A and B are shown apart, each in its own frame.
Chain A
Amino acid sequence: MLRFIFRRTLGAVVILVLLTVVAFLLFFGMPRDPALLMCGKTCTPDALANIHKTLGIDKSIPEQFWIFLQGLFVGRDDFAQGPCPAPCFGYSYHTNENVWSTLIDRLPTTVSLAVGAAFLFLFVGLGSGLLAAWKRGTLIDKTFTGGAMVLSSMQIYFLGPLAMAFLVYQTHLFDQVEYTNFTKNPASWFTGLVIPWAVLSTIFAAQYTRMARSSMIEQLQEEHVRTARAKGMSRSYVFFRYAWRGSLIPIVTIFGIDIGSLLGGAIITEYTFGLPGLGQLAVEAVKFSDLPLLLGVMLFSAAMILLFNIIVDACYAFIDPRVRLS
């Protein structure tokens, strides 16, 4: 197991390095010069060259890449804004702030959003999926599958404002959406995030309902499940012990991917509700051609997805004994 994790982690690091290379190359392929944005109306070629120099983009691309990589591991102190300890992603071109501390600053919002929504959609989605599979063919099943179909084709930017209009502005049932640090005030942390959680998890829950249902129905047709019935085990025992165990693999796989990408920033949700998380940061970075920030957000999201991929693979071993030995 340890060897497996070590090997996978090494693989993940390689992927991250490749991603950085690609991001670097693509950035310089962009039609926009970040220096021009900073230069203002009275820009002269001299001033532009000067800004290039301050940003460090006057050097060749391999050179810049090497400096960047070095910064990640040992830190840098060649910035006008001040020292940059490892892991150094540099300073934002746009806000002049240290990228790493911006990331750390925005992280709690994204984590709160992702974890809260994940709890909600796992319970609601899997619960209703299991219920639909248990009641297969009945009105309950049809209602749940139909509802899931409708909700999974919804969009966050549609449901979000709708929920806000109804629940906040019209009925005043909920507080205004706002991020408060959990350690500062857990109650307003909760009330401020309820609506984003609900909206984000609605769409996920609908997808999980459909997935859990179809996966359970598939498992219930497995021969070993029929054998368990033929042994005289009760319907619920067979459902939860035999069929559910087999359904876990596709569910854990998708859940790993979903939680990984949510932790890298739920761009649409954060934008819809104006929550200052990593997703919003990513949009800003692209908007202002902010290379250090862009790389920071991107590498962080990629690392999250890779991390959860490794966790999922490790989970397989717990679920399926056939994986354990090979």
Chain B
Amino acid sequence: MTTLTKESGAPTSADAGAFLSVRDLRVQFKTEDGIVKAVDGLSFDLERGRTLGIVGESGSGKSVTNLTVLGLHNPQFATIDGEIVLDGQELITARERELEKLRGNKMAMIFQDPLTALSPYYTVGRQLSEPFMKHKGASKKEAKDRAIEMLTKVGIPQPKVRFDDYPHQFSGGMRQRAMIAMALMCDPDLLIADEPTTALDVTVQAQILDLLKDLQQEFGSAIIFITHDLGVISKMADDLLVMYAGRAVERGAMKEVLGAPRHPYTWGLLSSMPRLNSDIHQALTPIPGSPPSLLNPPSGCPFHPRCAFRSEVPGTLCTDTRPPLGAGRAAACHLTAEQKQTIFIDKIQPRLR
């Protein structure tokens, strides 16, 4: 079980049991217009063999968080505070050389757009072999065998021939498979998948999701799965983290968060998602407004300008005070537990039918 579903104890420092532990992460970018608070006090834990889904609109800090875990931000432009501990090793203060040894080896990333994420100048085979040769000290021949093995595993036909092809000779789905094969070359313990299926059509999407699940079972990796597609996340994740304006607003086991969500933002996400089995007269309800500027986020609860249930909270609590996110199954909202339950049952659930 992950610490997300533990009953008590706020996660204050790195849990000895957690494989990946992120504590109070803050990522800020200095721009000409001011400081962008891309991630603002984020904490979560992840165990081996589990999948954590991170959902949220574009610009909610999902990708920034995970690029930070890999240490891919340029320290010249980004200020990073907090703690990221992977298997007992602190990553934020780690030296670049140390991170290079971990990247692609112990932790690997699958990027969103397979069209631009592979270099057009080198063969797929070479791009797959490189990390294996570097991290495992393998010879060219061994790396080639391994690459062909992985290409076979992700379902690329004729992998021996395809090894020498360039990415532009691959179809979109095959490129994404090659990306996945590349991430899995060194058996990573942590796999970060940043919207790996967004650029693909639905049938290919389903294949890729199945593939990831099979591979997780085989290798026992921990997966962070970033998406804004709740349909995809419901197939993949064990636990769920809902992000808004660089903060976690709700977390818990996937089934609980999607089945009985407690945050108005999660309600909004669910109500704006089309369903095959819903009544055709039931209109989709989008969340009004747009995500806030991270240069100048709203005071108090960052979601208050878009929140339909603000009036239920007494006084100016929503505009002055930032609601804390408790431990375990929690939602960062000033509504009381009873209010949340009644609102969800009376107003939200009927829309989801």
Whether A320 touches B111, Cβ cut-off 8 Å, given contacts A232-B105, A233-B130, is no
Please determine whether A245 and B121 come into contact, CB atoms closer than 8 angstroms: yes
CB of B132, distance to nearest CB on chain A (Å): 9
Within 8 A of A (CB), among B102-116: 102-105, 108-109, 111, 113, 116
Choose one: B105, B113, B119; the contact of A228 (CB below 8 Å).
B119
Q: B102–A232 contact, CB under 8 A?
A: yes
Cβ contact within 8 Å between B166 and A223: no
- Closest A residue by C-beta to B96: A235
Question: Which parts of A265-286 form the interface with B (CB within 8 Å)?
Answer: none
A312-B116 Cα distance, complex, nearest whole Å: 25
Tell whether B306 is near chain A: CB-to-CB under 8 Å: no
A242 interface contact, C-beta 8 A: yes
Cβ B111 vs Cβ A322 within 8 A: no
- Which A residue's beta carbon lies closest to that of B185? A231
Which of A223, A229, A242 is within 8 Å of B113, CB to CB? A223
Asked if B116 and A223 make an inter-chain contact with CB atoms under 8 angstroms apart, the answer reads yes
Whether, in the assembled complex, B6 has its beta carbon less than 8 Å from a beta carbon of chain A, the answer is no
**How many residues of chain B have a CB within 8 Å of chain A?**
30
Interface: B17 (CB within 8 A): no
CB neighbours of A242 from chain B (8 A): 119, 121
Q: How far is the CB of B164 from chain A (nearest CB, A)?
A: 11
Contacting pair B166 A322 (CB below 8 A): yes
Q: What residues of A have a CB within 8 angstroms of the CB of B103 in the complex?
A: 229-232
Residues of A near B100 (CB, < 8 A) are 232-234
Q: Which residues of A contact B182 (CB under 8 A)?
A: 227, 231
Within 8 A of A (CB), among B239-263: none
Q: How large is the interface on A (under 10, 10 to 19, 20 to 34, 35 or more residues)?
A: 20 to 34
Q: Report Cα–Cα, A231/B113, bound state, in Å.
A: 16
Decide yes or no: A226 and B168 within 8 Å by CB, A233-B130, A234-B100, A320-B120 being known contacts.
Answer: no
**Residue B342 lies at the interface, judged by CB distance under 8 Å to chain A:** no
Knowing A223-B111, A227-B111, A321-B168 touch, does A232 contact B118 (C-beta < 8 A)?
no
Q: Are A320 and B121 in contact (CB under 8 A)?
A: yes
Q: Which of B164-222 contact A (CB under 8 A)?
A: 166, 168-169, 179, 182
Tell whether, in the assembled complex, residue A231 and residue B76 are in contact, meaning their CB atoms are under 8 Å apart. Answer: no
* Cβ of B18 to closest chain A Cβ, rounded Å: 23
Interface of A is mostly: helix
Q: Which residue of A lies closest to B123 (CB)?
A: A321
Interface hits, A293-322 → B, CB 8 Å: 319-322
In the complex, which of the residues A137, A227, A235, A325 has the most CB atoms of chain B within 10 Å of its own CB atom? A227
The yes or no answer to B117 lying at the interface (CB within 8 A) is yes
State whether the Cβ of A136 lies closer than 8 Å to any Cβ in chain B.
yes
Does B131 make an interface contact (CB < 8 A)?
A: yes
| Contact flag A223-B117 (CB < 8 Å), given A229-B103, A230-B72, A231-B130 | yes
Residue contact B117 to A227, C-beta cutoff 8 Å: yes
What residue of chain B has the Cβ atom nearest to residue A242's Cβ? B119
Closest to B97 in A: A234
Chain A residues with Cβ under 8 A from B113's Cβ?
223
Taking A232-B100, A235-B96, A322-B168 as contacts, is the C-beta distance between A224 and B119 under 8 angstroms? yes
Chain B residues with CB under 8 A of A233: 100, 104, 130-131, 134
Q: For residue A228, which residues in chain B have a CB less than 8 angstroms away from its CB?
A: 119, 127, 130
Q: A230-B104, A233-B130 are in contact. Are A224 and B117 (CB under 8 A)?
A: yes
Q: In the complex, A232→B70 CA distance in Å?
A: 10
Chain A proximity of B39: nearest CB distance (Å): 18
Checking A225, A232, A235, A322 against B135 with a beta-carbon cut-off of 8 angstroms, the contacting residue is A232
In the bound complex, CA of A231 to CA of B143 (Å): 14
Chain A residues contacting B153 (CB-CB under 8 Å) are none
* Residues of B with C-beta under 8 A to A223: 111, 113, 116-117
Task: Give the residues in chain A near B111, CB-CB below 8 Å.
Answer: 223, 226-227, 230
Q: How far does the Cβ of A183 sit from chain B's closest Cβ, in whole Å?
A: 41
Q: What residue of chain A has the Cβ atom nearest to residue B70's Cβ?
A: A230
CB distance from A131 to the nearest CB of B (A): 16
In the assembly, what is the distance between CA of A227 and CA of B119, in Å? Answer: 8
Cα–Cα distance between A14 and B220 once the two chains are bound (Å): 66
Q: Does A246 contact B (CB under 8 A)?
A: yes
Interface string of A156-190 (1 = CB under 8 A from B): 00000000000000000000000000000000000
Bound CA span A159–B101, Å? 50
Q: Give chain B residues whose Cβ lies under 8 Å from the Cβ of A58.
A: none
Q: How far is the CA of A3 from the CA of B114 in the complex (A)?
A: 33
CB neighbours of A319 from chain B (8 A): 121
Q: Verify B119–A137 contact, CB threshold 8 A.
A: no
Residues of B69-103 at the interface with A, using a CB-CB cut-off of 8 Å, are 70, 72, 76, 96, 100-103
Residues A232 and B104 in contact, CB atoms below 8 Å apart: yes
Bound Cα distance A322, B118 (Å): 13
Measured CA separation A227–B166 after assembly (Å)? 16
Measured between beta carbons, the chain B residues less than 8 angstroms from A63 are: none
Does the CB pair A136–B134 fall under 8 Å? no
Residues A222-259 near B (CB distance < 8 A): 222-235, 242, 245-246
CA distance A308 to B168 in the complex (A): 28
Q: Are B76 and A137 neighbours in the complex by a CB distance under 8 Å?
A: yes
CA of A223 to CA of B118, assembled, Å: 8
Is B120 in contact with A322, judged by CB distance below 8 angstroms?
yes
Q: Which residues of A contact B121 (CB under 8 A)?
A: 242, 245-246, 319-321
By beta carbon, the residue of chain B nearest A136 is: B76
Q: Which 10 A-B pairs give the minimum distances between C-beta atoms?
A: A232-B104, A231-B104, A232-B103, A224-B119, A231-B131, A223-B116, A245-B121, A321-B166, A230-B109, A227-B117
Beyond A227-B182, A230-B109, 7 additional contacts (C-beta under 8 Å) are A136-B76, A224-B119, A230-B70, A230-B103, A231-B108, A232-B131, A321-B166
Q: Can you spell out 17 A-B residue pairs with CB atoms less than 8 angstroms apart?
A: A223-B111, A224-B117, A224-B118, A225-B119, A226-B111, A227-B118, A227-B182, A229-B72, A230-B70, A231-B127, A231-B130, A232-B101, A232-B131, A319-B121, A321-B120, A321-B166, A322-B168
